[in-house]
Chain A
Amino acid sequence: MADTGLLESLLRLLEKVDGGTDSQDVAADLGVDHQVIVGAVKSLQALGEVISTEQKSSKHWELTGEGREIAEQGSHEARVFNAIPDEGLPQNELMKMPSGKVGFSKAMSNKWIRLDKAHEGGPRVFKTVETIEDTVRDKLQLVQKGQSAKLEDKEKNELKKRKLLSEVTVKSYWITKGSSFSTTITKQETELTPEMIASGSWKEKNFKPYNFEAMGVAPDCGHLHPLMKVRTQFRQIFLEMGFTEMPTNNFIESSFWNFDSLFQPQQHPARDQHDTFFISDPALAHEFPQDYMERVKKVHSEGGYGSQGYKYDWKIEEAQKNLLRTHTTAVSARMLYKLAQQKFTPVKYFSIDRVFRNETLDATHLAEFHQIEGVVADYGLTLGNLMGVLHQFFTKLGITKLRFKPAYNPYTEPSMEVFSYHEGLKKWVEVGNSGVFRPEMLLPMGLPEGVSVIAWGLSLERPTMIKYGINNIRELVGHKVNLQMVYDSPIFQKPPKNKTEEASN
């Protein structure tokens, strides 16, 4: 902060003028360097509305170092002229003067001096006139006094060429009185202190205004992962809808529960090595509900329960093969089987957990991802009911415009792809899959004939990527994520209105 004395001098000066003043004039009036006044102006600005300012820039002429020397001591040629006594001076002596060389040639061309080369004792220089007028010095002194306007442009440019003058741009302030103008400075406090509160001195103090444009200090805290934040919200939605969470903490599953129990035939392409991770150790599952397994075998190979079956040779060896579950529906199958072993009561189940696919990886596909799944089992559920539940579920995500496309899935019939209208893309995009579990899956489990089970699924990653504007899944999941992204990611409240329809893709 500039010293208070200077600030007050500036303010007193300002008090006298009407309509304001330029900081350069202030500098001239107070006889201090302009930069000091600039500092003072900044200090005054920080005090609030004492002054108001407007930045200006102007060009003006200034002497160079050499120019200042000439303004003080005279031009080189004048100095040379003055050094020559009436009896003349040997040229070599004259040349030893600091201004010698330049001054000699200029004085010669001005015809102030002459050179007698034939003089005995070597060439000697003599004055040719009695007095001279040092116009260069006069002009420079004019500039120094701030009266450069009296010179013609041609003259200024000539001096500029001689590197005696330079044109500089000056940033200055146009200063006027502010709304709380005063000629005295009260020292401003930066912060309220316990002492001020205790003594009550805060009442007399002025406080330095805050800069509300600046960012605050980031709180010292940990952060939850964005995908897990979205998982929490989906969990919440299911819980609000009365769905009970399934125990999906079993990544290793047998082919039996992952495929066979779902009426997925053993030669189905999904059971190919190219799509599924199989386990070499422990390679085989060793325990199955025997009766149930027999019924599954029968429905695949021969049919039954009103079905033709797939008519192929079902092998237990294929069912025993362990794998990394390819969908959480394997757990739904276990849960429905368990349900069938008791007196039937309607259930609503959900899960959100990891599943694994041995597929080709790209920007949106990883070998593992999270599947969201919902299941309802009750007597007499209809396809219309499934659509109704889906409508409620997606409404909670802010997605209200839905339509359904017939699709194929080995374990649901009917199967429907769920589409929502994407306001941004102006088209319908797929947001999930759904269907009614096949009787060939449910009846061998022992569920009563009239019970229907409706289900749907979607991935957790896709809506999350849309929500956080992430195009490459590797920037969201896995060890390569940038922690800054985790630090900065907002909460998943509900998709913003205009993005509503994208959020679940």
Chain B
Amino acid sequence: MPTVSVKRDLLFEALGQKYTDEEFDELCFEFGLELDEITSEKDIISREQGDEKAEGASDVVLYKIDVPANRYDLLCLEGLVRGLQVFKEKLEAPRYKRVSPADGGEPQRLVITDETASVRPHAVAAVLHDVTFTQERYESFIELQEKLHQNICRKRTLVAIGTHDLDTISGPFTYTAKPPGDIRFKPLNQSKEYTATELMSLYKTDGHLRHYLHIIENEPLYPIIYDSNGIVLSMPPIINGDNCSMLLNLKSVFCVCLQAKTTLDMVVTMFSEYCEEPFTVEEAEVVYPDGRLCVYPELAYRTETLSGDFINKRVGINESAESIAQLLTRMCLRSEVSGEGDLIQVEIPPTRADVIHACDIMEDAAIAYGFNNIVRSTPRTYTVANQLPLNKLTELLRQDLAAAGFTEALTFALCSEEDIADKLRKNIAETRAVHISNPKTAEFQVARTCLLPGLLKTLAANRKMPLPLKLFEISDVVLKDETKDVGARNNRRLCAVYYNKSPGFEVIHGLLDRVMQLLDVKPDRNQGYHIQAAEDSTFFPGRCAEIFSCGKSIGHLGVLHPDVISRFELTMPCSAIDIDIEPFL
């Protein structure tokens, strides 16, 4: 969930009202935001770097507000205030308008060349004309772009945003792609020119930028945007050029977004508030390699029609169409009763890209109504409960294994290859293990193929406890299985260990007899269960038996091999049983 940090006093000034922390928290809760933290720059620095460093830092109160991940229109102070003011009916939702250049001149133009085909052959652009920035507005503008980069742009992999001082550059602009050695410019905040190749190595150590290098690093051509004089606007998605970087006192902003028009809409709608004519955005033309000419930003409004009855029935309220229209209008979805039955016409603004279905509109009506004003009612759905037979069997066996003196362990389903192979004297290839492709540590290399390693590790962590230690676990292991749609299946196993100064084979054997008694399986070579000597590398030679039930092998029991014991950092003899319980369903 993205967090937006805003100055409290600035926020209240914009809201035209002062709140106590509690009141504001309450307002956030109702609207679906969360006042996550109340802090200041000074607090943050002192927490992260110590009090000394915080000396002299600003102690202006900051509100950190968690915003739902799909509400890009609330990622800056401007958007938050607009959303809340409309919600509180103190403001009517603005209508965003695309306009032609005021002086009747030609719109700015961005030409995309063929070479971009290998990188990102799509870009959109727009102009914020006659915009007035203050220090705070400017910071908020930069911050919004950063937030968008992290969220909707998926860390710049989907979309890259560039904003430039239009007075320092002149169109038409060219978006092309070139080999990195052929690109040379002075990047933002640097004092000299670099080639793109040099830049990539320069930014390897940059705490912020190094995270984006991989996006183009291995491409033969790098994307680059020039103005008509060959000045570099940016090398997206890495860095802007220094010449056209934005300053406080700029007049017009040229915005370019690679890939997504939604992102462009978001940037320009939020800050068009500060234009000479608020909420207007000057158009820009984009010429595609195939000759197509498109005008941006789209700022498209869409109208949906739905019935009051639909909203009432889904939410569980009983409001008139008029009152529902009013609720929706408070959520920046300007709505009107159409006059046809209880139909409501809802206008979705370009800022609400999250509204893609009538259910999104329904939710907004419910939020405006107040979730906590909705009457809670029990559904009349009549059903009969059933347990999953496998889980029922597991629950019943667990109780009786504990009654038999064994203590239940709860171990991880993920482990290292070593745990299920080398340490058990098995070959990893024979384990039918499912392998994880992106483990952060060796602990998560595979899904376990047996429960024994977890129990032995539990013993190792509890060597100080009085002997004997008697543990069991009934849980799932995972095995590759071609017959399943995903190529693997779970298998419910029962595993138990007895750890003492003597191996206690008879104890584990007795536990098998008890389990079979509970499962109502009699000792019998054909119709019941029996054990028979077997070789298994995990067990001590001559001290291992295979367990058969109705002629089918269901597992092993025996005294563990001394190497297995030492590899799990244990020192005493140990006997174990491991059986599949699924045949007993």
Contact = CB atoms under 8 A, between A and B. Distances in A.
Given A481-B461, A487-B407, A303 B356 contact: yes
Contacts of B386: 244-245
Interface string A333-348: 0000000000000111
B357 A249 contact: no
B552 interface: no
Contacts of A253: 486
A483 B458 contact: yes
B395 A385 contact: no
Given A281-B435, A378-B379, A483 B444 contact: no
Interface string A256-276: 000000000001010001000
A367 interface: yes
Interface stretch (A3-11, A62-70, A108-116, A217-225): A217-225
Contacts of B489: 250, 252
Nearest to A221: B405
A245 B407 contact: no
Interface in B7-65: 29, 31-32, 34
Contacts of B143: none
Given A278-B436, A387-B374, A408-B69, A307 B356 contact: yes
A367 B405 contact: no
A287 B68 CA distance: 35
Contact of A383 (B314, B381, B385, B402): B314
A403 B373 CA distance: 10
B391 A245 contact: yes
Contact of B316 (A235, A382, A391): A382
Interface string A468-481: 00000000011111
A479 B454 contact: yes
Contacts of A92: none
Contact of B29 (A273, A278, A405): A405
Contacts of A406: 31-32, 68, 363, 366-367, 371
Contacts of B71: 408
A181 interface: no
A235 B391 CA distance: 10
Q: Which of B68, B391, B401, B484 has the most CB of A within 10 A?
A: B391
B411 A277 contact: no
Interface stretch (A124-132, A133-141, A433-441): A433-441
A407 B32 contact: yes
Nearest to B379: A385
A382 B313 contact: yes
Contacts of A307: 356-357
B385 A478 contact: no
A306 B358 contact: yes
A380 interface: yes
Contacts of B316: 382-385
Q: Which of A273, A281, A288, A428 has the most CB of B within 10 A?
A: A281
B201 to A, nearest CB: 25
A246 B388 CA distance: 7
A286 B487 CA distance: 8
Contact of A247 (B363, B388, B408, B409): B388
A285 B480 CA distance: 12
Nearest to B489: A250
Interface in B425-442: 434-440
Interface in A51-88: none
A232 interface: yes
B410 interface: yes
B414 A479 contact: no
A244 B385 contact: yes
A479 B409 contact: yes
Contacts of B414: 277, 324, 356, 367-368
Contacts, number: 280
Given A252-B447, A391-B376, A280 B436 contact: yes
A388 interface: yes
A279 B437 contact: yes
Contact of B372 (A222, A235, A240, A403): A403
Interface in B274-330: 313-317
Given A278-B438, A285-B486, A228 B29 contact: no
Given A225-B410, A354-B413, A406-B371, A438 B359 contact: yes
Q: Which of A247, A384, A385 has the most CB of B within 10 A?
A: A384
Contacts of B454: 479
A243 interface: yes
A309 interface: yes
B376 A387 contact: yes
Given A376-B379, A405-B34, A479-B409, A286 B314 contact: no
A277 B476 contact: no
A428 B22 CA distance: 12
A383 B373 CA distance: 11
Contacts of A403: 371-372
A interface, size bucket: 35 or more
A251 B409 contact: no
A384 B315 contact: yes
Nearest to A391: B376
A288 B485 contact: yes
A310 to B, nearest CB: 8
A407 B68 contact: yes
B135 interface: no
A122 interface: no
B457 A388 contact: no
B438 A273 contact: yes
B407 A223 contact: yes
Q: Which of A279, A348, A376, A385 has the most CB of B within 10 A?
A: A279
Contacts of B447: 251-252, 324
A270 B371 CA distance: 27
A413 B356 CA distance: 11
B371 A416 contact: yes
Contacts of A221: 402-403, 405
Nearest to A303: B356
Given A227-B410, A486-B407, A242 B384 contact: yes
A438 B358 CA distance: 10
Interface of A: 220-225, 227-228, 232, 235, 238-247, 249-254, 267, 269, 273, 277-288, 303, 305-310, 322, 324, 346-348, 354, 356, 358, 366-368, 376, 378, 380-385, 387-389, 391-392, 403-408, 410, 413-416, 428, 436, 438-440, 452, 454, 477-484, 486-487
22 contacts: A235-B395, A238-B385, A241-B385, A247-B388, A249-B390, A250-B484, A252-B434, A252-B478, A280-B436, A280-B437, A286-B487, A306-B357, A324-B436, A348-B385, A384-B374, A387-B376, A405-B29, A413-B359, A436-B359, A477-B410, A479-B455, A482-B462
Which 9 pairs across A and B sit closest by C-beta, in order of nearness? A384-B316, A382-B316, A406-B32, A282-B487, A408-B68, A280-B437, A479-B457, A414-B363, A287-B485
